[in-house]
Copies of this chain bind each other. A is one copy, B any other.
């Protein structure tokens, strides 16, 4: 992506604000194919929310020492930002790295990368509506990726799964693997399984959750976890269950899904960043 001189000026002007961010790296016009050009400095608010996303999901118990969150770059549709390989609870703005859709880092500075960044890359490639992606291994969610019992919406807070959550089984296309989405081809297959849904379960692995904003992808991850717990508990009661009707779910979505998680977002952020 060619950055106009205007945006370059902005880049310099903002440098003092985001000092330390690796996104403020040198503009490399003559980068090798494997080293994409930067799309320029991301919106400080996006950076702040992305860091908060890692911390929030750690504090809420959705992420542990593994898993990751990413955001599409606000200046370039074909770039996304995520942390270097690091436990979510430790992520700060200086750990964020810009990537292209082939999983190449703009400026990794020798730091190790999440081997599964291709989950994010390939979803951004085919889902222009998606601006944030979460990958997690929440213990309540993993069972729904390995059982014949489908994950279904239990209440209005999980209306985003009104149309169901597909299950991606890596064996179908790749046979015996180490289960990781560690290249573009596997990422593409996962993105295909996701289709136009809000989340895709990964058999024997975890889940990928998407949203049009960071708070939405994070909020969905939290309520997917809660919905899984509620469904498991409802099933264990042994009676017949009335799931949320797809039309009910759709009406909830049409009315503004959980008000875009604005109400809890400030709370989650305050708590997670205070630690």
Contacts and interface: CB of A to CB of B under 8 A. Distances in A.
A173 interface: no
Contact of A139 (B169, B177, B226, B243): B226
Nearest to A244: B204
Given A89-B267, A156-B204, 11 more contacts: A142-B154, A142-B155, A143-B233, A145-B155, A146-B155, A147-B240, A147-B241, A179-B252, A180-B252, A180-B255, A235-B237
Contacts of A148: 239-240
Contact of A87 (B145, B241, B264): B264
Contacts of A169: 242
A258 B229 CA distance: 26
Interface string A134-158: 0001011011111111000111110
How many interface residues does chain A have, given as a range? 35 or more
Residue of A142, A180, A237 with most partner-chain B CB within 10 A: A237
A233 B264 contact: no
A139 B229 contact: yes
Residue of A137, A157, A268 with most partner-chain B CB within 10 A: A157
Contact of A234 (B146, B154, B242, B264): B146
A251 B179 CA distance: 8
Contact of A178 (B153, B255, B261): B255
A145 B230 CA distance: 11
Given A147-B239, A148-B239, A156 B142 contact: no
A237 B154 contact: no
B155 A234 contact: no
A16 B257 CA distance: 40
A137 B157 contact: yes
B146 A267 contact: no
A209 to B, nearest CB: 17
A32 interface: no
Nearest to A156: B179
Interface in A171-223: 171, 176-180, 203-206
